Amino acid sequence: MRSDEQDSQGPVIRDRRRIDPVTGQVRDAERQGGPGQAGPPQRGPGQQRPGRHAVSKPGGGSGGNSGAGPSAPAGQEASGGQGSAPASEAGQAADLELTARRLAERTADLQRLQAEYANYRKRVERDRLAVREQALANVLTELLPVLDDIGRAREHGELSGGFKSVAESLEAAATKLGLASYGEEGEPFDPNLHEALMHSYSPDVAEPACVRILQPGYKVGERILRPARVAVAEPGEPDEDDEPGGADEAHHFQNPNNN
């Protein structure tokens, strides 16, 4: 029967606007029916629906978080930042160590290659000089008999005319290539430089010496092409029974390299 009474009374209209349209003052919530009965404020003339075009304020409530996803708790965010930083530093340290090790290996390889190349160049240069000296020595050795003939012709006075010019040109060319003759009377006997073909005793010498040059020696630099063939005299009184130039005596003073 209560529903019938309500229908007979008609609809009940409650004004829940927070702003009084007449005075423009904020109404008291208790006067509008208490906090439990307070509903969404009704729009007055010329008013907009709240929250539709509202501008979010920094640090505000729900308006400040509009458009952003759910934020993690402060404790979880702090713990995640502290865990990722040490991991990132450890990864960078490992990369630096690997790069430094690779750089050291490449540097060692480069230094080894440079040393090998320097040794290769030295070896090639040494071999080239050795081949050149050997070829030059072979050519000059073949010319020694010709130089001996020129020397004998000069001693006998047969070196004259055009033959003299040719002989002097040949000797000058051999000298330019580094050929040098050695062997003089009176110099000490050296078995590495001289080959003794004759032997005698003489009171005029204090040590074994070359008293006569039978055939000059030739060398190129420090290389001996042919030892000087000489007659050697030792300190002592000459013996009339001994024949100078005996085979045994000559063999005793020969260069051991020419045995």
Distances (CA, A) of 259 to 120, 136, 184, 196, 249: 38, 25, 23, 12, 14
Distances (CA, A) of 123 to 33, 119, 120, 128, 239: 113, 6, 5, 8, 56
Nearest Cα neighbor of 224 from 167, 178, 186 is 178
Residue holding tokens 């308006």?
Answer: 63
Write out the H or E segment, with its range, that includes residue 155: helix 74-155
Nearest Cα neighbor of 35 from 16, 14, 63, 22 is 16
| CATH code assigned to 180-258 | 2.30.22.10
- Contact in structure between 237 and 216 (CB atoms under 8 Å): no
Nearest Cα neighbor of 232 from 206, 204, 199, 202 is 199
Give the residues across from 234 on adjacent strands.
201
Q: According to the model, what pLDDT value does residue 77 have? A: 47
The vertex-136 CA angle with 131 and 137, nearest 5°, equals: 100
Q: What are phi and psi of 188, to 5 degrees?
A: -60, 145
Per-residue pLDDT of the chain (259 residues; tens, 9 = 90+): 555 555 556 677 777 787 878 887 877 755 544 444 444 444 544 444 444 444 444 444 444 444 444 444 444 444 444 556 677 888 888 889 999 999 999 999 999 999 999 999 999 999 998 898 899 999 999 999 999 999 889 988 888 888 889 999 999 999 999 999 998 998 999 999 999 999 899 888 889 999 999 999 999 988 999 999 999 999 887 766 554 444 344 444 444 444 3
Nearest Cα neighbor of 205 from 240, 231, 243 is 231
DSSP 74-140: HHHHHHHHHHHHHHHHHHHHHHHHHHHHHHHHHHHHHHHHHHHHHHHHHHHHHHHHHHHHHHHHHHH
d(CA 111, CA 109): 6
Q: According to the model, what pLDDT value does residue 61 have? A: 43
> What radius of gyration, in Å, describes the C-alpha atoms of the chain?
61
**Residue 24, CB-side half-sphere exposure with 13 Å CA sphere:** 1
